[in-house]
Structure 1
Amino acid sequence: MASMVIRTGRADLDFSGIRAEFGLPSEFPAAVLAEAEQAVGRDVAVGQREDATALPLVTIDPPGAKDLDQAVLVERVGRGFRVHYAIADLGVFVVPDGALDAEVRRRGQTLYLPDGNVPLHPTVLSEGAASLLPSQTRPAVLWTFECGAGGEPVDVRVRRAMVRSTAQFDYDSVQAAFDAGTPHPSIEALADFGRLRRERATERGAVELRLPEQEIVPNGDGDWKLVVRPRVDVDAWNAEISLLTGMSAAKIMLDAKVGVLRTLPDADDTAVDALRRSASALGVPWPDGVTPARLLAGLDPARPESLALFVDATRLLRGAGYTAFDGEIPPVTTHAGVAAPYTHVTAPLRRLVDRFATEVCLAVTAGQDVPQWLRRALPLLPGVMGGSDAVAGRVDRACLDQVEAWVLADRVGQVFDAVVLRADGNGADVFVAQPPVMGRCVGADLPEGERIRARLTVADPERRKVAFARVDA
């Protein structure tokens, strides 16, 4: 699916109304900024910290990103692989129970709006002293995975280090280099390793839903454009490194019986049976013995029936949360989407829980007691992160709804090609490819997975609402 861009044609539109509606903070308190400035001047190289600045690590992030959490190096070692994964070390900048710690616990995570972020940490840290910017020596938590020929780790190490990223890349440029046969030496082995890890994920039963991802980006003239960016192979390969790290961290914490997991209960038989019925109705063959993960992995995301089945498959991934534990293994330890125990440790600049989970792993692997301040914080994290995730989801949806309404405001009455994603008794959710919007559609015959013609009946920027009605064939 190619990228699709539609301009709003307006230069006076911003997202201040959404910021006000959700009460998003516009600045940090003075005490928090002062503490962050003090942290920048702290000697972060003190203590038992490995010098890993000779490793030719690189970063892969969206274009223009400055809050760089991860840097990676993938090497072939015999028939296997060695993966170095450096994660920004926020633990050396945030004083437990200080003003900065209290503020980031209140925020939970960075919120991304088209006209500017609401950062978790002051930008002097998140885009400066703590960010793994190229050609800058930075403190990091360095994970090293020794993996066999099948991509599974046989040895995992984690420790504090000083690192120095050698280059900053974005996903599209890395994909273009792979396509041209000229990948950067530091990630030349990423393709083979990423494919192996993807295959292991499918074997485990990991569920990946390749739905169109709408993005809002500036067009350079002060207004906005809607884009559907196809997920390139590099996205999936790079994500596998993060997933490997999160699974390894979860194992460390479960072995020690202390930590915080990202959990999602396994789908029950009712959800799987419903998905089978949807596949049958959509004409998607489901051979005996094929798992939902294997079926979904084999679908062509460009086909309308695939889009509809991906939407239906969201029923397999309900009930995600965070589970803290200390001294006793919780009843649910796995994440059904990953098909393994999993935790967040790879984005501490942007997500609160990652710093705490990382500190548990560092203490456990060093043979040290988990600090009391950390044990006190663990039970609070599920509530903080659950609330923060909910706000982030609502803000993302509000921004998309707003731009969709802006884009279509002068096109009410026009007819568009659409794909029916999910139908119910009151209509259906549909995806319109040009411009890339999702909305509700009413009509007498709305079979999931079919292409239809739909007339735009509502495009209201004030209510952030878009609606369609099926045009009779």
Structure 2
Amino acid sequence: MPRRHMIMADADGVALRAALRALRTGLGVPLEFPAPVLAEAERAVRNPVLPGLDATDVPLFTIDPPASRDLDQAMHLAKRPSGGYRVHYAIADVAACVTPGGALDAEAHRRVTTLYFPDENVPLHPAVLSEGAASLLPDQTRPALLWRLDLDAEGRVETTDVRRALVRSRAKLDYEGVQKAIDGGTAEEALALLKDIGTLREALEAERGGISLNVPEQEIVAHGDSYRLAYRAPLPADGWNAQISLMTGMAAAELMLAAGTGILRTLPTAPDGAVGRLRRAAKALRIEWPHHVPYAELVRSLDPHRPAHAAFLQECTSLLRGAGYTAFTGGATPDPLLHAAVAAPYAHCTAPLRRLVDRYTGELCVAAVAGDEPPQWVLSALAALPKEMADGTRLANTAERESVDLVEAALLKDRVGEIFEATVIDVKEREPLVGTVHLEDPAVVGRIEATSGKLPLGDRIRVRLTEADPGTTKVLFAPA
């Protein structure tokens, strides 16, 4: 699901960091790992369960933000002699280091997911694993679940295989460097094929009615002695890389459905009225949306570098609400079955260092390919996983939302009374004096309340900042 990522420079103020620590405390976020968990992690590092298959000859590479050390995925892309493509996709094998029923396993079930805050992350697993022995760092031999997906010339998956193997990444790449190398024609074939395969998969996504939202990421950028908020529009390489993960998640879903046991990531179709609300937002933002043009086609035509389009893409995330997990056993047909944005059955399986469910999905897929029954520790946990993941995801979303609000308030607290240029992107139907405004600089989406008249939906207006209180994580505007 698209996220509004927050990135803070190293020199942020003491008061802001204190407020973020208080936020974590208020949310009941587990911070330090208990001593038994750390001790078990240290033992696991010294004695991991290693597979017999050696695939260290596959020259894998990772693509992640430059500062990342919890590297879940590594890939290698090649052309097949008979036509089409072969994708090797290695996923960190967390189960090689986690004993079912042990202290480390119990703590992972308590945390469920890595939580991302502007100043630090609260990891799912101790750093000795997530940033060390289990991470697919370059020039390190690691246990992994190695997927092999053979594609035809149009990018459709023809065959799928996944098994445990020792792997070795050759390089840690970042999105900007990848984009520059591909655009400049200097990328080696294995990397250059990311564009070819990613573009083919995007075309197949459009064909089946799926959609990926290129929502701009909200960043905090150092600006002299202060900070400013800005948007970072995703690069095409972000989307191509995401298509490899989506393809693997769809393949995982098909394996589990064929085996009759699994857990899917699902999303219901948008409720009545949701698309109508987006049409009003598009009109307000002067975005042409002919009635014969499907929603997915419109979104693919937008440029996230344009402020109005960026605001609309953020509004589009409202259609992604209601995502959940569906577990099934005994060959039963899952209900719900599909992920509406993917427009196909889909499973989370590519981020086990950061998300609990992916460890279980990986085990189910390995068993399905081998024709074996899943391990008992997987089967016994399956029924409870959807609720565990729902609770963990809810906490993650709350942490993200309140972090964004807090940072906006903290950065604007000394600017109360100032006037900004803004666009009214939403007005409440039953409260025409209340709505939402989008500021281009700083990159803030905030609440506006007028005292009379009616907010001019879609108009560019001048607004006055009337409240910015980090204590309440509240930013409020009024027409100037």
Normalised by the size of structure 2, how large is the TM-score? 0.91
Residue pair 2:281, 2:425 contacting (<8 A) in 1 also: no
Q: Deviations over 1:235-264 (max 9, x none)?
A: 000000000000000111111121111101
Structural mapping, 1:376-415, within 5 Å: 376-415=380-419
**Equivalent position SS for 2:78:** strand
- C-alpha change, 1:342 and 1:217, in structure 2 (3 Å) is farther
Deviation at 1:267, TM superposition (A): 2.5
Q: Paired residue for 1:199?
A: 203
> Helix, strand or coil: the match of 1:97?
coil
Structure 1: which 5+ runs fail to align?
none
Residues 227 and 136 of structure 1, relative CA distance in 2, 3 Å threshold = farther
Give the counterpart letter for 1:463 in structure 2.
T
Counterpart residue number, 2:115:
111
CA 1:302/1:420 → structure 2, altered by over 3 Å: closer, same or farther? farther
Match of 1:435 in 2: 442
> Hey, what does 2:462 align to over in structure 1?
453
2:248 paired residue number: 245
State the partner residue of 1:21. 26
1:141 lines up with 2:145 in the alignment: yes
Q: Specify the code of the residue in structure 2 equivalent to 1:55.
A: V
CA distance in 2, matches of 1:207, 1:372: 36
Does the CA contact (< 8 Å) of 2:267 and 2:322 recur in 1?
yes
Question: Does structure 2 retain, via aligned residues, the 8 Å contact 1:32–1:100?
Answer: yes
CA distance, structure 1, for counterparts of residue 369 and residue 223 of structure 2: 47
Per the alignment, residue 265 of structure 1 pairs with 268
Q: 1:173 offset after TM fit, Å? A: 1.6
Q: Which of 75, 78, 85 in structure 1 is aligned with 2:78? A: 75
Equivalent-residue separation in structure 2 for 1:56 and 1:451 (angstroms): 52
Structure 1 residue 345 displacement after superposition: 0.4
Distance in 2 between the 1:220 and 1:98 partners? 49
Q: Residues 296-375 of structure 1: matches in 2 within 5 Å?
A: 296-327=299-330, 328-375=332-379
Partner of 1:232: 235
Q: CA deviation at 1:162?
A: 0.7
TM-score (norm 1): 0.92
The sequence identity of aligned pairs, in percent, is 51
| Larger deviation, residues 60-69 vs 300-309 | 300-309
**C-alpha separation in 2, matches of 1:167 and 1:70:** 12
- How far, CA to CA, are the matches of 1:431 and 1:105 in structure 2? 38
Q: CA deviation at 1:429?
A: 1.6
Deviations 1:175-209 (A, max 9, x none): 12223222244311101111111111122111333
Query: Does residue 427 of structure 2 align to residue 423 of structure 1?
Result: yes
Provide the C-alpha distance between the structure 2 equivalents of 1:185 and 1:333, rounded to a whole number of angstroms: 37
Separation in structure 2 between the aligned mates of residue 6 and residue 240 of structure 1, nearest angstrom: 28
| Separation (CA, whole Å) in 1 of partners of 2:308 and 2:391 | 34
Aligned pairs for 1:85-96 (under 5 A) are 85-96=89-100
CA deviations on 1:131-169 (whole Å, 9 max, x unpaired) are 000000000101111111111111111111111100111
The structural deviation recorded for 1:102 is 0.6
For the residue of structure 2 that corresponds to 1:165, the secondary structure is strand
**Which sections of structure 2, spanning at least 5 residues, go unmatched?**
none
Residue 126, structure 1, aligned to residue 135, structure 2: no
The equivalent residue for 1:463 is: 472
Q: Quick check: 1:50–1:161 contact (8 Å CA) kept in 2?
A: yes
Structure 2 residue corresponding to 1:35, chosen from 36, 40, 53: 40
Please tell me the residue identity of whatever aligns with 1:165: S
Give the letter for the 1:41 counterpart.
R
Change (3 A) 1:438 1:287: closer
Paired residue type of 2:423 = V
Cα-to-partner distance string for 1:8-33 (whole Å, 9 max, x where unaligned): 97354312111211122221111111
Shift of 1:422: 2.0
> How far apart are the structure 2 equivalents of 1:9 and 1:35?
35
The alpha carbon displacement at 1:273 in A equals 4.4
**Take 2:415 and 2:311, find their aligned partners in 1: how far apart are those partners?**
26
Q: Which amino acid aligns with 1:429?
A: T
